[in-house]
Amino acid sequence: MRTSTSRWQTARSGRPLTEPSFEELERELEQIVTRLEQGKVSLDEAIALWERGEELYKLCVGKLDSAQGKIEELAKRVESARP
């Protein structure tokens, strides 16, 4: 049975009760990178950390893509509002 290394509380569905911010995700990812770089974890733990890191990376990219889309939409509104 694989255990999650996530710190976020989840409902029975496995989904987070509250969505973590980009900064929280980034901070957890940085902690994982540091632990892996130190090399003081077992192979199994390193694999679990790597997998969690991939999940966090995908969530961060999704949040950045979403933010970029919002910024582009706001820029279009500003351009269309100009006389």
Query: Which residues span the domain enclosing 49?
Result: 22-81
Please classify residue 56 by burial: count the beta carbons closer than 10 Å to its beta carbon, then call 0-12 exposed, 13-18 middle and 19+ buried.
Answer: buried
Number of compact structural domains in the chain:
1
Q: pLDDT tens digits for 25-73?
A: 999 999 999 999 999 999 999 999 999 999 999 999 999 999 999 999 9
State pTM to two decimals: 0.73
How far does the chain reach from its first CA to its final CA, in angstroms? 62
**Per the domain annotation, does 13 fall within a domain?**
no
**Per the domain annotation, does 4 fall within a domain?**
no
**Per the domain annotation, does 68 fall within a domain?**
yes
**Per the domain annotation, does 17 fall within a domain?**
no
